[in-house]
Structure 1
Amino acid sequence: MRPTRREAVTVHPLVQTAAWADLKAAVTDLRDLQIADGSVPEPGDHARAAALVGRVITGIEALAPSLSHDADYLEALVKDFGRWADGGFEVPDFYDSIVAFAPAQHRVDGLPHLVVFPMYTQNGNPNRQVEAVLLEVIWPDFIADLEAGDYSNKLFLPIRFLDFTAGYDTNSAVLFPETVAMREVPAFTWGGIFADREAARFRRVVTEAAAVTRLSLPPDAARLIADQELAERTFVMWDLIHDRTHMHGDLPFDPFMIKQRMPYFLYSLEELRCDLTAFREAVALEADGHPYARSVQYAVLFDRIFRFAITGGRTRNYDGLGGQLLFAWLHQRGVLHWTDNRLTIDWADVAEPVLELSRAVEELYWRSIDRPKVAHWLAAYALISSVLTPHPLSAWARYQAGDLSALPLDGPPKGLTDAVLPDEFPLSMFYEALSKKMKGVIESTAGITGASA
């Protein structure tokens, strides 16, 4: 197979510098001295930590001339590291440098950034240890055109890994400023998504899933899975539309993405709503001749039904539930078939049922504006349980079946959330079997990048 442009690219020059190599090594050793809150509690470790921070600062200053667009941030970063060391390595506070870091103001294709913060990584390291990441922006012209038109999202930052420390040698594919250790929470101006990891993971998992299920792929879907650059651009387009959808539409008054405790299946519907919106918009853009629109539809469909449904544990796995729901919806509407141990999809007919599910979720949201919170929760459960079979011990299912005493409706909503089982909607027999066959390849994608795909 002819290598794509991304597969033929050599290691980025910044990754090859001695400054980056020593900075990365110093961060790696410093992490071993930190505890979960990011501090270095043992006085006997402080001299060692100070020497390591000195090497980190030296590395930042050596790389800074190649990153002039980040001059103010890198200067603040050096000061934050110095302040942390001078203060005895207590819980770190990198407020000044995270506020100064504004990468979304320079969305230029291939523009590099150096990220060095005490932080946790979602789906990765839960502790606020120092991470060091070299990355570059993915901003092709067609994405710039979409963002400047109907899909404005000034905070959206698609990025690609160049190199990283251990916290990102995981499943984490995001870089969010709110994960950084800081004294207070400012208004954030960006959120990063590593599209190269998303694309590489997608390609590996879907290649295996298609083989396991004997799914015959259309030629354009096969090209998507074979081409890292095409997949990266596809995911950037999907993420652009998905990300802005969280803030658009007839939403329930309480935003979904703030930290609040409620049944996990509501998060399933919100994430699925955003993906189905991306699918719907891609259908419209395909009709207008957009070259990546069809690929977005394949990506949403395949990632949801093949990877999301069987990735992660079975405790409140809201992305997994969304994948199960999409698969079952398509199966029950006769466009997806599992017959003779072979998966087939009616490609010419699949779009309309996906759009139908999108409309059902949008209708649920629209009606929620006139409903009390608990009534909305019950309606959301009714929608999901009309497609997926709940756990036999489910109190929510008993209520839906007419046992009005099954749920504590006379108390605070917390009681309803507590009544949701950790695995309220278990995997179907199809997914139980698929999960066993796919376990190894899904685990193999931890730490994957576009360069290693």
Structure 2
Amino acid sequence: MKNLSQTPVVADKAAAEIAGHPAWIRLKAAVEELRPFQAKDGSIDLNSRGATTRDEADALLATVVDATRELAPLFPHDAAYLDAVIADLGRWADSGYAVPDFLDSLLAFQPAGQREDGLGHLVVFPMYTQNGNPDRNLEAVLLNVVWPDWLAELERTRFDNPMFVPITFSDFTAGYDTNSAVLFPETVAVRKAPERFTWGGIFCDREAARFRAVSTAAVDTLGLEIPADAATLLEDQELAQQTFVLWDLVHDRTHSHGDLPFDPFMIKQRSPFWMYGLEELRCDLTAFKAAVELEAEGPETASGRMGRNVQYAILFDRMFRFPVSGGRVRNYDGLGGQLLFAYLHKHDALRWTDNRLRIDWKRAATVTTDLCTEIETLYRDGIDRPKTAHWLAAYQLVSRYLTPHPASTWAKGADALPFAEYNDSKSLNKALCDAVLPDEFPLSMFFEALSKKLSGVIASTSGITGTTDLGAAA
């Protein structure tokens, strides 16, 4: 596995040509030059020391507008959106570069209604990039939709998800030269949030490339023997992209299905972070169960062949990348990965002995599905519980398999928590969240060691795409 060679992905010819188009190059350069002058909210203070002048800002924005107008005929399906973008850019300039408002263009952009394999989009918005740049800078992205026939049929017949838009990068500005792998309307600067969001984009090429790089390094580091089809998945970028599209399709829809689902993007942490970790893991394990069912249908269909790959992807990404990526403050995705590993370990579906990891591939699917059942039972029972009791029950589930921090108040049980000190639920909920340690469930010794060994390859995946040379990235 150490001499990994990437199977190249042939980009859509039109998209590749547009990435080299002089107008795109001018647009990208102007956005990058404008970026340092924007505040966190996207505004530009023309009166502060070191700021750009009004004439300089106007010249840069005029370049963005002119380049967008020149590129627009290459995207006739986005004509209304790009007209709205140009109008919103003009209003931003007319406001003196106050906090930008791109609600009109956001409402005009409807990629979920245009899911056609290979269809390209030019996206220009002031926005933050989740897991990337936290500021609402102006960003520009060239992307392609991924919508093969077999996936369209699954979405139509089994996994309805009309808002899901899988995409790949052609080129991007600095906000996406990061770990961000999503394009979400929630991140765009607007005067008011729309009544509802109608689409969400996920960059399957970045997810797949990152998965391949980190999983390959983990397999080598841990001395893990993997089946031949798992090795093929790690070697083939196109196959990995298709795998992530199916995984994401089922994961994304699960947030609104089942007992007691909730919005996982309430990132202000109105609940203890393990609630978000369990929700994300529930969605992944639901996708895992669906993949087991697809695999059982046999290799005669594309979806049947992809079922096994989705299982590998969820196990490897969840266990090897999630726990050791990002910081340790309220890292709910990391928590879910730790929980999956510990559950498999305690149910003897994997072993770490003699400095080698061994997975019982025959039992792994059954045990992983059992964990999904435990989480589903927690959710179903939660319907009849008050919120704080549900939080405590969820904590007890996690702490059956993960050891809490020795100084944890939550680990001491309900008697140690301030239930009797507050009369109103809002204050009580805040106090209970405040009692959570930043790293309530620290990494085990296994993951502490793995984190040090994989830190370099994980850092190298920032900004990765489907055409990145993984050998160079590692």
Instruction: Read off the aligned partner of 2:339 and give its amino acid letter.
Output: L
Asked whether 1:407 is paired with 2:417, we answer yes
Partners of 1:336 and 1:237 lie apart in 2 by 26
> Which of these residues, 40, 43, 59, is aligned with residue 44 of structure 2?
40
| Counterpart position of 1:162 | 170
| Counterpart position of 2:180 | 172
Instruction: Read off the aligned partner of 1:167 and give its amino acid letter.
Output: G
Partners of 1:32 and 1:224 lie apart in 2 by 40
Aligned ranges 1:22-171 → 2 under 5 Å: 22-43=26-47, 45-171=53-179
Sequence identity (%): 60
Asked whether 1:228 is paired with 2:237, we answer yes
**Closer, same or farther: CA 9–3 of 1 in aligned 2, 3 Å:** farther
The alpha-carbon deviation at position 16 of structure 1 amounts to: 1.0
Partners of 2:447 and 2:7 lie apart in 1 by 33
Asked whether 1:438 is paired with 2:454, we answer yes
Instruction: Read off the aligned partner of 1:444 and give its amino acid letter.
Output: S
Aligned with 1:12: secondary structure? helix
User: Is 1:46–1:89's contact at 8 Å kept on the other side of the alignment?
Assistant: no
User: Is 2:286–2:372's contact at 8 Å kept on the other side of the alignment?
Assistant: yes
Q: Report Cα offsets for 1:179-227 as digits up to 9, x if no partner.
A: 1111011121100000000000000000100010000111000000000
Number of corresponding residues: 448
The alpha-carbon deviation at position 405 of structure 1 amounts to: 3.2
Moved more, 30-39 or 264-273: 30-39
Partners of 1:4 and 1:338 lie apart in 2 by 31
User: Is 2:6–2:235's contact at 8 Å kept on the other side of the alignment?
Assistant: no
RMSD of aligned Cα (Å) = 1.4
Q: Report Cα offsets for 1:310-344 as digits up to 9, x if no partner.
A: 10111000000000000000000001000100001
Instruction: Read off the aligned partner of 1:116 and give its amino acid letter.
Output: V
Partners of 1:154 and 1:391 lie apart in 2 by 42
Asked whether 1:429 is paired with 2:445, we answer yes
Aligned with 2:171: secondary structure? strand
Partners of 1:257 and 1:370 lie apart in 2 by 24
**Closer, same or farther: CA 100–442 of 1 in aligned 2, 3 Å:** same
Partners of 2:221 and 2:27 lie apart in 1 by 43
Partners of 1:52 and 1:271 lie apart in 2 by 41
Instruction: Read off the aligned partner of 1:221 and give its amino acid letter.
Output: A
The alpha-carbon deviation at position 280 of structure 1 amounts to: 0.3
Q: Report Cα offsets for 1:67-110 as digits up to 9, x if no partner.
A: 00000000000000011111111111111001100011100111
> Which of these residues, 389, 400, 406, is aligned with residue 392 of structure 1?
406
Asked whether 1:331 is paired with 2:340, we answer no
| Counterpart position of 1:377 | 391
User: Unaligned regions of 5+ residues in structure 1, if any?
Assistant: none
Partners of 1:5 and 1:429 lie apart in 2 by 37
Structure 2 length as normaliser, TM-score? 0.92
Partners of 1:168 and 1:332 lie apart in 2 by 39
Partners of 1:178 and 1:386 lie apart in 2 by 35
Partners of 2:10 and 2:358 lie apart in 1 by 31
User: Is 1:7–1:228's contact at 8 Å kept on the other side of the alignment?
Assistant: no
